[in-house]
Amino acid sequence: MKEKHFPGVGRTILTVLIHPGLLSRGIRCFFTILYKFFLFQYCAAHFLRLPVSRVDNALDDVIPFNPGFVRIYLDFTAFWIRIAGFLSIGYGKKGRRYAADFISSITNLYSFTFQIYRKNLSTTARPLYKKGFHFRLIHLVDPHLMCIPSLHVMLVAHSYAAFRYYLRCLGETETQRMLEEKVFNGALAITEAVLYVKQHSINCIAATFYTMNCFNSQLFTIADAEKFMYSLFKDKTINDIPKEYVPYYSEPFVCPDDIVLLRDFILNLYRHFTEKNNDDWTVPIFEFLKTFPLK
């Protein structure tokens, strides 16, 4: 019987460990993340002399700092791991093939964004807030030098698009709409949380969705990017919020009068990138980064 629930991270990792086809992809993904995110940022912070652009936007100030969203934000890794588990555990051998392909796509995503980071890093004015274990962990392991594009947002947006594709390949029709909506709402919640805990600027969001289109324009379309941006900060009922995130939704929220302003800015900046039509997708990003002062 097909499993309709997302397994936990521990169960997913165990499944990866006992299936060679998944294990090889998982090992490669792990070391890619270790090098191209953690180790590279550490070296950049202490040894390498790379330009670091400060990519804040004045409109970031209308988004209140809300530390309660930190647990939602930190779910970005577990989010895609649960999707790999859903495929590999719920759909047998065929599902494991798709799970292996999905894990490889996460590896490729880190390598794709690294084309920007290895030449020009970026940061924002992150609050020096270290109350509680979660924020201390963030400040310990994340030097905050990879803001454009945002890997956090790319991971969850790509996970949604890939999950939708794999469900259709698997012929899942019984619960497909419900599952897609659940994953979309989870990805949207993490994207908003990234802004509420001040890990990124609204500039990062627009640049990230442009990068997503360049990474795989067939899987994640312009319409998908606009759907995310139009949905940011919308009024939510309890049914719109993934149940695991509900306990962390609390004031302060973005003022309703500012929501349209934020969405319009993000959409207009996103369209500025997409209208460039440059053969090299990195050129509009590098040109944008050059408009900001260096740290």
- Do the domain assignments include residue 100? yes
Which residues in the chain come in under a pLDDT of 50? 1-3
| pLDDT at residue 4 in the model | 64
- Do the domain assignments include residue 1? no
- Do the domain assignments include residue 153? yes
- Do the domain assignments include residue 124? yes
- Do the domain assignments include residue 121? yes
Q: pTM score, two decimals? A: 0.95
- Do the domain assignments include residue 170? yes
Residue with tokens 């647990």: 71
Nearest one of 217, 194, 197 to 266, comparing CA atoms: 194
User: Residue 230 sits in which domain range?
Assistant: 9-289
| pLDDT at residue 48 in the model | 85
Q: CA separation (Å) from 11 to 59, 87, 231, 273?
A: 41, 12, 32, 40
Tell me the residue type at 144. Answer: H
- Do the domain assignments include residue 131? yes
- Do the domain assignments include residue 254? yes
Tokens of 77: 């890794």
- Cα-Cα-Cα-Cα dihedral of 254, 155, 75, 223, to 10°? 40
- How many domains, in total, are found in the chain? 1
| pLDDT at residue 176 in the model | 82
| pLDDT at residue 264 in the model | 96
- Rounded Cα distance, 230 and 267, in Å: 8
| pLDDT at residue 1 in the model | 34
CB-side neighbour CA atoms (13 Å) of 112: 22
